[in-house]
Amino acid sequence: MACPPLTSSASDGRSLVTSGVVRWQSARTASPAEARESITELYSTTVDFAATSDRRFGYGMSAAEDDTVSVAALRFEGRCRSGAESFDDVVIAHAVRGSHRWRVGEERGIGSVPFMIPPGVELRVEFTSAHIRTVKLDAAYVQDVAESLSGSRDEVFRAEGVNTRRRHPGLVAEALASLETMMAQSSVRDSALVRAQVRRHAVVSILSSFPLVELDRQPDRGIQSRRVRLAVAFMEAHAHEPITVGDIAIASATTTRSLQSAFRRAYDMTPMQYLRQFRLGLAREELLAAPAPRLSVRDVALRWGFAHPGRFAQQYAATFGEHPSATLRR
């Protein structure tokens, strides 16, 4: 993971820096005891760790996290064993290099395929000279996303059989790699709206692959126009916040699938397309109201959840018939 310059460091090779609400950590050590301490801190749970003495040991870690997600790249040299009695969060791991074997509860497998550790389930791993990518997700956030997808308000995480019944592991590997890359980009790091979109996309991909909850329920067929009005009212009231389609579905008391269908019928667009159009209008109001020397198009784009100023300019021009910089010069 490519990290920005770190502003502080400790004598044992650990570093920490905060960029907006994204916190960066890094560590490097040849001490198994210090590696254990680093891993315990990273995953907020007591971790057992041991390295055999027949090979030289090395450990390196870099991680980016906010209040909902932690994305980490860990590199080990030497033969190692590790584990934890349980995690409070949902953890997905992928050994992208090296040999790696794991046991999650009663399930077993190899780390070259992404695997999940549900909350409250024991983990044991053995690996040699491995590069491991992990994503730790706040369990309450994952549950919110799952409930918005299923329409149920009482989702319970499955503890057994999650890895045995997984589907599309390549999709999960791609989601983990993309999340790691995007968390390192300033356009994601500096915009809570963009981070929310990236984070939800990754969680939906993970839930679609691992049967942590049951998502294959019959969608609500009787959605009424009142729910569309509730959704629109919620979006307009919270457009300045990092809301997702799941939040909108919960606010309108329906599932994301039903909400998507209702918006297609009502507006010939998805809820997020509607929200994007509304945010474009708010961005235009800001550009018209502010003196040009005190504002930049890039700042306005990021503030309203547009990670790429070039795409923002294209969408803005297609909607309003002029470039945002032209609006700013008025």
Spatial neighbors of 84 by CB under 8 A, at least 6 apart, are 43, 45, 46, 47, 48, 122, 123
Local confidence band at 8 (pLDDT 50, 70, 90 cut-offs): very low
Superfamily of domain 15-138: Jelly Rolls (2.60.120.10)
The fold of the 274-328 domain, in CATH, is Arc Repressor Mutant, subunit A (1.10.10)
Closest CA to 125 of 157, 96, 93: 93
> Tokens standing for 127?
């690996």
Local confidence band at 76 (pLDDT 50, 70, 90 cut-offs): very high
115-117 and 79-84 strand pairing: unpaired
* pLDDT at residue 219 is higher than 90: no
* pLDDT at residue 253 is higher than 90: no
90-104 and 123-137 strand pairing: antiparallel
* pLDDT at residue 58 is higher than 90: yes
The ranges assigned to domains in the chain are: 15-138, 274-328
